Amino acid sequence: MSAVNISLQPRRIDPSVDLEIRAIVEGRAGGETCSTDLASGPWNFDTVPGYGPGASMGDVIPTGSPRQGELPAEYRTASADELDARILAAKAALGDRVVVLGHFYQREEVVRHADYVGDSFQLANAALEHPDAEAIVFCGVHFMAETADLLSRPEQAVILPNLAAGCSMADMADIDQVEDAWEQLEDVYGDLSAPDADGLVPVIPVTYMNSSAAIKGFVGRHGGIVCTSSNARTVLEWAFARGRRVLFFPDQHLGRNTAKAMGVPLEQMPMWNPRKPLGGSTEEQLLDARVILWHGFCSVHRRFSVDQIAAARAEHPGVRVIVHPECPMEVVDAADESGSTDYIRKAIEAATEPTTFAIGTEVNLVQRLAAQHPQHEIFCLDPVVCPCSTMYRIHPGYLAWVLEALVDGEVLNRITVPGDVADPARVALERMLAAKPPAAPAAHWEQAS
């Protein structure tokens, strides 16, 4: 393993949001919460359809979504300390054979065991840094593990500790709906692969990283590209250099916020609702469109509101409000800044004077940033503790389970993207990398030390 980022020592940063949620469950803390049920046992939700308690519990889960079988009882009943010790022992036994990746939104009890902590794009690249590791254990959600599989060597096994850790936003753009939308757009614009006199095709599909590999494959087959929240503007510029307009999915908010900042008028950004003919727009609106926004959203980021920003400003004069671009447009407009998870982290790190920050993103990351930067006051804009319920399904019990199986030579919960999907999906990812090569990767990653 490279010397820059690996430590097998647990990193303890308290209080973690997990502890905060437990305090609420036990009646030791005040304040509101979405639901505390996931904290006591995510395995209780593995076999029922739905995303489980949390911000996304009201979203409809597609029928074909992966389900997690029952976690063996020894992992459900083990104490936190026992699981901690078992994870450390398994990692020590596996050594360089395994790399554990942890997304910024993971609970602290999992993050402390990660060799890399970062955003979805950085973590996918971490797989490239370890071509000799036999297994990559991805503590994140399903689309992230798929992306790691696309970018890693075929012999490497990418493991998602809990198969029910999906992403409700990614699930809002289903491949059949997208194929259907494409056919309807062909009826409006004519041959979608035929350039006009200016060399521009009628529409370029752009998908956010938070989408299934099938969607990335669709985009790759149709001259499109993937984006992340940190390079969305560069990617839209790439697309406008090749097409009259963009079909952007699944996150309407990232699409709208990015295009608006580029000067695209809101009237030229119709929404595509896959349950309505022509997505709910008229033919004239679609002909005039510059960006067609898929009707998807993140249930976690949709909770942030202009009222919360007003309350933060009233209570903390001089507060610096930073929100993720998955938040609704009015929230981004009312904030001081908006940016990806990595942008938020760097902005806080760069602040030289003690500052009060109100942050609009997932609460696990906000809590960790607050613990890491005691010189600042850092709080989540949303006063209700409500983690991303699917990220939260990666409990240390599942991590111990997959790692101990690896020690015994068994690969559990492997995520494999079939070749016919993987090839075009890689093309779409490579276009993104070429549009903006990643800056010196390891230097940007939070190190587990």
Q: Which residues are annotated as a binding site for [4Fe-4S] cluster?
A: 167, 298, 388
Choice between 208 and 398, CB closer to ligand 13P: 208
Choice between 177 and 299, CB closer to ligand SF4: 299
What is the residue-wise DSSP string for 356-380?
Answer: EEEEES-HHHHHHHHHH-TTSEEEE
Q: Are the C-beta atoms of residues 271 and 279 closer than 8 Å to each other?
A: yes
Please tell me whether residue 382 binds ligand 13P under the rule CB under 6 A. Answer: no
Please state, in angstroms and as integers, the Cα–Cα distance from residue 43 to each residue in 24, 70, 77, 348, 394, following that order.
20, 7, 11, 35, 10
State the Cα–Cα distance between residues 208 and 257, nearest whole angstrom.
13
Residues that bind ligand SF4 (CB under 6 A): 56, 105, 141, 167-169, 210, 298-300, 362, 388, 390-391
Choice between 229 and 252, CB closer to ligand 13P: 229
The SS3 assignment for 278 reads helix
Q: Are the C-beta atoms of residues 399 and 87 closer than 8 Å to each other?
A: yes
Please tell me whether residue 299 binds ligand 13P under the rule CB under 6 A. Answer: no
User: At its nearest, how many Å lie between ligand 13P and the CB of residue 327?
Assistant: 10
Q: Which amino acid is at 405?
A: A
Choice between 11 and 302, CB closer to ligand SF4: 302
State the Cα–Cα distance between residues 167 and 34, nearest whole angstrom.
17
Q: Are the C-beta atoms of residues 103 and 119 closer than 8 Å to each other?
A: yes
Among 125, 210, 364, 413, binds ligand 13P (CB under 6 A): 210
Residue ranges of the annotated binding site are 103, 120, 167, 208-210, 229, 298, 324-326, 341, 388
Choice between 120 and 156, CB closer to ligand 13P: 120
State the Cα–Cα distance between residues 448 and 94, nearest whole angstrom.
17
User: At its nearest, how many Å lie between ligand SF4 and the CB of residue 55?
Assistant: 7
- Of 157, 101, 164, which is closest to residue 405 (Cα–Cα)? 157
Please tell me whether residue 251 binds ligand 13P under the rule CB under 6 A. Answer: no
C-alpha neighbours within 13 Å on the C-beta side of residue 425: 24
Choice between 149 and 251, CB closer to ligand SF4: 251
Choice between 290 and 303, CB closer to ligand SF4: 303
H/E stretch holding 98 reads strand 98-103
Phi-psi region of 195 (alpha: psi -120 to 50; beta: other; left: phi over 0): beta
Among 46, 59, 108, 326, binds ligand 13P (CB under 6 A): 326
Please tell me whether residue 229 binds ligand 13P under the rule CB under 6 A. Answer: yes
State the Cα–Cα distance between residues 192 and 202, nearest whole angstrom.
6
By CB under 6 A, the count of residues binding ligand 13P is 10
Q: Are the C-beta atoms of residues 175 and 219 closer than 8 Å to each other?
A: no
- Which option in ligand 13P, ligand SF4, none does residue 125 bind, with CB closer than 5 to 8 A by kind? none
Among 341, 364, 367, 390, binds ligand 13P (CB under 6 A): 341
State the Cα–Cα distance between residues 230 and 151, nearest whole angstrom.
19
Q: How far is residue 108 CA from its own chain's centroid? A: 17
- Residues 100-129: x/- map of binding to ligand 13P (CB under 6 A)? -------------------xx---------
Choice between 166 and 223, CB closer to ligand SF4: 166
The DSSP code for 437 is P
User: At its nearest, how many Å lie between ligand 13P and the CB of residue 39?
Assistant: 20
Please tell me whether residue 446 binds ligand 13P under the rule CB under 6 A. Answer: no
Among 298, 319, 322, 429, binds ligand 13P (CB under 6 A): 298
Residues facing 360 on adjacent strands: 323
361 contacts: CB under 8 Å, gap ≥ 6:
300, 301, 323, 324, 341, 344, 380
Please tell me whether residue 364 binds ligand 13P under the rule CB under 6 A. Answer: no
- Residues 158-197: x/- map of binding to ligand 13P (CB under 6 A)? ----------------------------------------
* Contact residues: ligand 13P, CB under 6 A: 119-120, 209-210, 228-229, 298, 326, 340-341
